[in-house]
Amino acid sequence: MEISDSSEIQVFSGSANIELATNIANYLGVPRGDAIVDTFPDGETFVKFNDNIRGRDVFILQPTCPPTNQNLMELLIMIDAARRASATRITAVMPFYGYARQDRKDQPRVPITAKLVANLLVASGADRILTMDLHAQQIQGFFDIPVDHLYAAPVLYRYIKTIFPADNKPVVVSPDLGGMKMAGAYAQMLDTDLAIVAKRRISPTEIEPMYVIGEVKDRDVLLVDDLTETAGTLTAAARILKSKGARRILAGVSHAVLGELAQKRLLDSPIEELICTDSTPVKKIEGFKLTVLSVAELLGEAIKRIHFGESVSSLFDVDGKAGLAKPSH
């Protein structure tokens, strides 16, 4: 269905990922909304919508990637400004949801920051959330407003299946026990075997792989995870897989929030290629194969369907398989 009146739907962007917002607007066939997002000398954020948004269906794209607090405040202020400008509906489009790993009290006297962020988004005036590959799916339940949760797997799958021939399917490996469900979905899509690396976390940036469950000897391997930031989990898993006789090792992640430590680790690791999406801006790594796939079409299609009140569940389908959309018990 075409968007006949571009004034009814408007896509705006904070400063976190303007290129992705522009590509989404291009997919929808509408201009990216005109808004000023600036920072005062004292560090405060200033927002002004130059376009008239009264009575409009407004989508604000802003992943809360580093600098996380700055990007989160930008998003909250943009939502508040849109609400005060009488937008009919405001959807926060967060391809990457920062603070998602702080989703429970795993030790005494710590916050549940993922819930706090959800409260802030609702309090600021968001009517709906559109996000992708949450680190913890239960975060959807932190909101009392609708949450559309997409998966990057269909985008990654289309590329991955071009790398591996039908007679040489890779073993899909989860780099830790927590990623078993995601790895299982990829294994189902690729119709191949599954393995798991058990690990022990030493510090927030260091992990120790302990053993591999599954057979990887003389097999190509695809490591899959939702997020890599320091690349500690991925590279440690790759080393133990190599020691167990794995041949070529590739990694696929939905969100690549790569700092300097991650870049160094990837360069020194057995991983030959990292496949990720543009949910956050990704810097090239000199001397390392980094493939960035766009989720603009996926998010754009979801935005279109939300606008017209259509279902987004079919976006989970991969070659007719909807395994990612099925609830687990």
Q: Which structure tokens are listed for 141?
A: 């339940």
Give the pLDDT confidence of 245-289 residue by residue, as tens digits: 999 999 999 999 999 999 999 999 999 999 999 999 998 999 999
Question: 200 pLDDT band (50/70/90 cuts)?
Answer: confident
Quick one: pLDDT at residue 317?
A: 66
The residues annotated with a catalytic role in the active site are 199
Q: Could you tell me the domains of the chain?
A: 9-151+296-325 (3.40.50.2020), 153-293 (3.40.50.2020)
Beta bridge partners of 276: 292
Q: Please classify residue 186 by burial: count the beta carbons closer than 10 Å to its beta carbon, then call 0-12 exposed, 13-18 middle and 19+ buried.
A: buried
Q: Distance (Å, rounded) from C-alpha 156 to C-alpha 295? A: 9
* H-only helix segments in 49-196: 68-84, 113-124, 153-163, 180-190
Quick one: pLDDT at residue 278?
A: 98
The CA-CA-CA angle for residues 123, 126, 130, to 5°, reads 130
Give the pLDDT confidence of 202-254 residue by residue, as tens digits: 766 666 667 899 999 999 999 999 999 999 999 999 999 999 999 999 999 99
Q: Which structure tokens are listed for 63?
A: 């992943």
Q: Which of 159, 155, 324 is nearest to 255 (CA)?
A: 155
Task: Tell me how far the alpha carbon of residue 99 is from its chain's centroid.
Answer: 12
Give the pLDDT confidence of 78-92 residue by residue, as tens digits: 999 999 999 999 999
Residue 41, classed as helix, strand or coil, is coil
Residues 215, 165 contacting (CB under 8 angstroms) = no
pTM of the model: 0.91
Could you tell me which residues come within 8 angstroms of residue 99 by beta carbon, excluding any fewer than 6 positions away? 64, 68, 72, 113, 114, 116, 117
